[in-house]
Structure 1
């Protein structure tokens, strides 16, 4: 299996690799998964033509993944915290306006709550004070939380690869990968 994320920002090499695997060289048993943000790829985008060609290849399936609905977010949080859905529902409902059901952002926000001591692991399970969660969320934006976590990483881990020429200018900022944040 090969997984390529954020294809909308990919340069010629990864796009050429996918093109080769899908159009020229078939490899039995290869599962090639590519992920992209469709809203970032318009007709003028360098990926538009290859995407159209790839979709026409035999055996290629396109799956569109949407953000999780509220009940699924509750289930995900319950599974992550090893708690009953009824127990975590208020927590999931409190963070949902900040993540809009985006699984990645939900995980990152829970990690930030834990990292900053608002969500704590105890011998009896995960604990949180609903008022403290609301206060934390009221004073933060998920993008800011993610940036703070990145700045806490070692310098070498903070360095990102340089954007390719096909990277849109809006995606070149440090928080460009964070979408769907509500007040």
Structure 2
């Protein structure tokens, strides 16, 4: 009821952006057509009200958004509007971005410059971890049972320069290759020569490429195809893209998850695959809809580097074709931006009139939906 009150009769505007909200607040009356400028003002005010509904004097709303360097102009503007809105009380926003990917002309940099005029907005620059912190991390991980600990810390820090993700990947690789191993007494031993001879690459992406190449052919095919599809992917789509049986892919994926490369959106995946011979149609659908997300964007970057541009385009075109043919109208509408992205990335390979028609119609629908959210730059 509180949410409906805060939306002030404009609930359909938010449902257009977050369709699942209709389950909570029910069907809403259509809104009047306005000029682009008036529509944008109405959307921004309604979205601010939507955020305000979740915060109060008794409850602080905390929102964290990562990878803001990839945010489009409309999203950056909306974030700025909400952050600077004094009428939203008890609201704590945390945003993270890579500063080396944001130059002074970037929309995010311009927005941050305006926001930092406020005394209650702080920017915290995250630096690489100092050597003593990496030392504590390593010794804690190895339970303080490692030979020549100071030397090991020196070697690891020299290579990773305090990057914790690189450090984790490096230690894991050393263990997998036997350079770092636990003996019968429980003491971790490491080979000086093995560490010196170990080809680490110059950065974490090079190291990840080496590790991904060590996967078996099917695992590698799944994870690289998934990377081409997007930051996350569903099981059914990838199984169809690589023309493999759904359960065969599902059986292999837990091994990939155990490497730390992917995170499954359903903890019951193992149960479904184990009972695959006696599974209901509902559970088959549920398996197919399980989504997987890359644990770190550098992992996806490493996977993409193993594919050429034509392969990425082909995977995306095939993904778009599959979703158009197999998704319901409601599912297509919900994923319209993703499907449009698939067709756009694969457009260079389009030869059939049906695909060209889909490219045009899907982009038109995506543009209209973006316009409804007043994201006019994205709509164009």
TM-score normalised per structure 1:
0.69
Q: Does structure 1 conserve the Cα–Cα contact (< 8 Å) formed by 2:183 and 2:189?
A: yes
Distance 1:87 1:160, change over 3 A: farther
Partner of 1:45 in structure 2? 106
Partners of 1:2 and 1:87 in 2: CA distance:
43
CA radius of gyration, larger in: 2
Deviation at 1:107, TM superposition (A): 1.7
Match of 1:66 among 103, 122, 127: 127
Gaps of 5+ in 2: 1-61, 232-297, 303-380
Distance 1:46 1:107, change over 3 A: same
Partners of 1:140 and 1:131 in 2: CA distance:
14
Partners of 1:60 and 1:88 in 2: CA distance:
41
Partner of 2:161 in structure 1? 100
Equivalent pairs counted in the alignment come to 163
Q: Are 1:9 and 2:85 matched, yes or no? A: no
- The structure whose residues are more often helix, as a share, is 2
Q: Does structure 2 conserve the Cα–Cα contact (< 8 Å) formed by 1:4 and 1:33?
A: yes
Partners of 2:191 and 2:69 in 1: CA distance:
40
Match of 1:174 among 301, 304, 310: 301
Deviation at 1:94, TM superposition (A): 0.7
Partners of 1:114 and 1:157 in 2: CA distance:
27
Partner of 1:148 in structure 2? 210
Q: 1:86-145 deviations in whole A, cap 9, x for unaligned?
A: 853221211222211122221222222223332235561533222212211xx2213221
- Report the secondary structure of 2:94's partner residue: strand
Match of 2:230 among 157, 161, 174: 161
- Report the secondary structure of 1:174's partner residue: helix
Aligned pairs for 1:84-123 within 5 A: 87-121=148-182
Deviation at 1:27, TM superposition (A): 4.9
Q: Relative contact order (alpha carbons < 8 A, sep ≥ 6): 1 or 2 greater? A: 1
Deviation at 1:18, TM superposition (A): 2.8
- Report the secondary structure of 1:143's partner residue: helix
